[in-house]
Amino acid sequence: MKQLQGLGVFPQLTIGPVYVFRPATCDVTAAHITEPENEYARFDTARRQAQAELHQLYQKTLDKNGEESAAIFDIHQLMLDDADFLQSVRDFIYNDTYNAAYAVEKTGEKFAQLFAQMDDDYMKARAADVQDISHRVVRILCGKTDTPDSLQTPSVIVAEDLTPSQIVLFDEKYILGFVTAKGTANSHAAILAHTKGLAAIVSMGPEVLSLVNGQTVILDGEHGTLTVDPDTTTLKKAQQQLQAQQKQQAALQALKGTPDQTKDGRSVLLYANVSTAQELHDALQADARGIGLFRTEFLYLKSATYPTEEELFNVYRDVVQHMQGKLVVFRTLDIGADKTAPYFNLPDEENPALGLRAIRLCLTRPELFKPQLRALLRASAFGKTAIMYPMIASVSEVQQAQNILAQVKQELRQARIAFDENIQTGIMIETPAAALISDELAPLVDFFSIGTNDLTQYTCALDRQNQNLSVFTDTHHPAVLKLIALTAKNAHAAGKWVGICGELAADRTLTKTFLQMGIDELSVSAPFILPLRQAIQQTDLRQAD
């Protein structure tokens, strides 16, 4: 038995076998071969294996996200069957007597060049697709696997770190929890753990990567400890804890349908943060009373070009209809140089967190902003919808955004297209500037939603992706709490409602503080809804702290 210590990011306990995910890295060096026929046969076997992987990825993405997103894996298959591509590999093997891996790598570079030189930005970006397929074949030639295909039982996933594209490779039903050697509370694995309610530990150190698949571990996401090969006593104790946890979960389930009200009768709107249809489903399952933050980036990030108004409308309408009259607050596009898709052609920035992002990008690209606003307005005809602008720092930004919205409304009226004339608009308060001038901003909108993650990062000048800064981070920093209190006060003075949609909203140790400040709405990811309801119901504002 041994114990490893990391940073727990979701307070759950789980027990199970380990599955170590090792993404492939291959050194491709040129070597000369003597039997080109055998070498080509090796390539062909690897190619067929790659085709099989791509076919699986296609099916999986199709089931999860639909044809639009899956199509890329179909194109990759066609590319791997392309006669010119195959001929080039054949030439490198037969004429230059190169080894298969090098021949594929060279061919990939050659075809990527072909696209990179085209005068069309879309085609230029396809160079990445060509490299993707050649890397896939090279990886297989090196005898390495990148897909967790061998994961067949629910396991604790261990990895150095996990990118979003790696995470989609996993079948959710086999994920008991995550442990990553690197990463911070904000890495993708941690975010996924939060949305799914899974036990997770990050920043565990490289030692964890030497675990062997199948070894039993106890993952304690609350204390950040991973116990490997536990002895009988420890295992028994953990199993009891697990049972207690399951009991607590059952108690939480019993809170479904009960009101979000404190002991002294103060009501709170308990809403959910979601990004995808699956999370929407999870939120409704957890009995969310509305959606306080619908992130709209997803459709843009997985697309190969700007999604059309029609595509956006279809998704938004489905979401709104699904909510059956409950409010959905859509945050308009929140994209920047650190979170973008190639077709946006955003220049690299030294400080993307302070760069051309979110509302700033939308105001400079009305051709991007207007179709989204049109789609949102049209969706509002089908259910209770609100529009929220992110990353506001000045009065003029809100005015400009509202002017564009007014134009779009006018166009819809002229075209006799239905929308909700009383649609609410709001802004995110996530810059210290916005919080400090919230008295001037309040008259321009119907509501505020405080994004505590960015507000903390900007107020304390602490990069939230930088793992070396964790020791300096105070999640309850008094400056942030003062800004929240000020924002709430100014919203109410103007008769507007105010919510919190950042991670702090889920922090049960702050629930009473927030309610004392007068916060009207708390929006959290699905797994936090019922625990937060419990905290609200246990709060009594008449009692002194």
Partner 1 sequence: MKEFTYVIQDPAGIHARPAGILVKQANTFKSTIRITKADKVGDLKRIFSVMALGAKQGDTVTLHIEGEDEEQAASAIEACLKENF
Give the interface with partner 1 as residue ranges (CB under 8 A): 71-72, 74-75, 78-79, 81-85, 111, 114-115, 118-120, 122-123, 126, 129, 304-305
Residue 352 CA, chain-centre distance (Å), reads 18
With beta carbons less than 8 A apart as the criterion, state whether 524 and 530 touch. Answer: no
25 class by beta-carbon count within 10 Å (0-12 exposed, 13-18 middle, 19+ buried): exposed
Query: Is residue 501 flagged as an active site residue?
Result: yes
Of these residues, 135, 194, 362, 501, which one is catalytic?
501
Is 103 or 199 the residue whose CB approaches partner 1 more closely?
103
CA distance 502 to 484: 11
CA distance 302 to 279: 17
CA distance 501 to 505: 6
3-state DSSP assignment of residue 487: helix
Residue 85: CB minimum distance to partner 1, A: 6
Is 65 or 394 the residue whose CB approaches partner 1 more closely?
65
Residue 131: CB minimum distance to partner 1, A: 13
Residue 77: CB minimum distance to partner 1, A: 9
Of these residues, 26, 55, 188, 322, which one is catalytic?
188
Residue 304: CB minimum distance to partner 1, A: 7
Name residue, tokens 């990553």. 180
Residue 40: CB minimum distance to partner 1, A: 19
Query: Which amino acid is it at 67?
Result: E
Strand order in the sheet with 225-228: 2-5, 225-228, 216-220, 13-20, 155-159, 175-180, 199-202, 7-10
Is 216 or 314 the residue whose CB approaches partner 1 more closely?
314
CA distance 235 to 253: 27
With the C-alpha atoms ordered 249, 251, 257, 263, is the resulting torsion angle positive or negative? negative
What's the per-residue H, E or C state across 442-466?
HHHCCEEEECHHHHHHHHHCCCCCC
Query: Is residue 188 flagged as an active site residue?
Result: yes
β-strand partners of 389 = 427
Residue 345: CB minimum distance to partner 1, A: 15
Residue 465: CB minimum distance to partner 1, A: 32
Q: Cα(first)–Cα(last) distance of the chain, in Å?
A: 43
Name residue, tokens 């001929």. 87
Is 58 or 514 the residue whose CB approaches partner 1 more closely?
58
Local structure of residue 542 (DSSP, 8 states): T
204 class by beta-carbon count within 10 Å (0-12 exposed, 13-18 middle, 19+ buried): buried
What's the per-residue H, E or C state across 214-249?
CCEEEEECCCCEEEECCCHHHHHHHHHHHHHHHHHH
Q: What is the CA radius of gyration of the chain?
A: 26
Residue 334: CB minimum distance to partner 1, A: 25
Any residues with CB less than 8 A from the CB of 60 and at least 6 apart, and which?
168
- Residues serving a catalytic function are 188, 501
